[in-house]
Amino acid sequence: MSVSWPLAFSGGFQPRLTGADNLRFICRIYNVDYSERLSYVQDFSELGVYLNEPVANYSSGMRARLAFAISMTIDFDCYLIDEVTAVGDASFREKCKVELFQKRRDRAMVIVSHSEGYIKENCNRFLLLRDKNLIEFASYREAYHHHKAMMMMPPPPGE
């Protein structure tokens, strides 16, 4: 299974390169055609002429738009999501939601979130990570109550 980097993660960008050049670099790594991906990134990111500016000049929102658009240009079997769709204005967030949760609904996704609504809306399996172990729950409600109980417990000895 191919697994994505954390969606909208912009920490891997080379800040001196333009947004387009960062896309070109990522396309080379994944052995995909840059020219086929460029128009998608231009349209989706809505960065306009800034796509040809160094990423160092971008605001955090612009970097997040670029990172999400580039993340969607590479096909993965599983996407790592850390509340990425909280980026941008309402219309951009909706566009992200459609792109990720509708167009890629047949893909596996690992979502890390503190938002109850986000989890309920987008997840059908619920796991908690505790002491390097995953615990699976039948419902969000069970996972939530277990998490709350864990937070009230003192840490294990030695921590």
Distances (CA, A) of 24 to 7, 28, 49: 18, 6, 16
CB 65 within 8 A of CB 87: yes
Which residues, including other chains, have CB under 8 Å from residue 64's CB and lie 6 or more apart?
8, 10, 84, 87, 88
pLDDT single digits (tens) 12-32:
899 999 999 999 999 999 999
Does residue 128 carry a pLDDT above 90?
no
pTM (predicted TM-score): 0.79
Instruction: For residue range 63-101, list pLDDT tens digits in order.
Output: 989 998 999 999 999 999 876 555 667 888 889 889 989
Q: Measured between alpha carbons, how far is 8 from 19 in angstroms, rounded to an integer?
A: 13
- The answer to whether the CB of 51 falls within 8 A of the CB of 80 is no
Closest CA to 7 of 91, 56, 102, 73: 73
For the segment 34-46, the average pLDDT, to the nearest whole number, is 95
Q: Domain segments of the chain: what residues?
A: 3-113, 125-159
pLDDT at 90: 82
One CATH from 3.90.850.10, 3.40.50.300, 3.40.50.1010, 3.90.190.20 for 3-113: 3.40.50.300
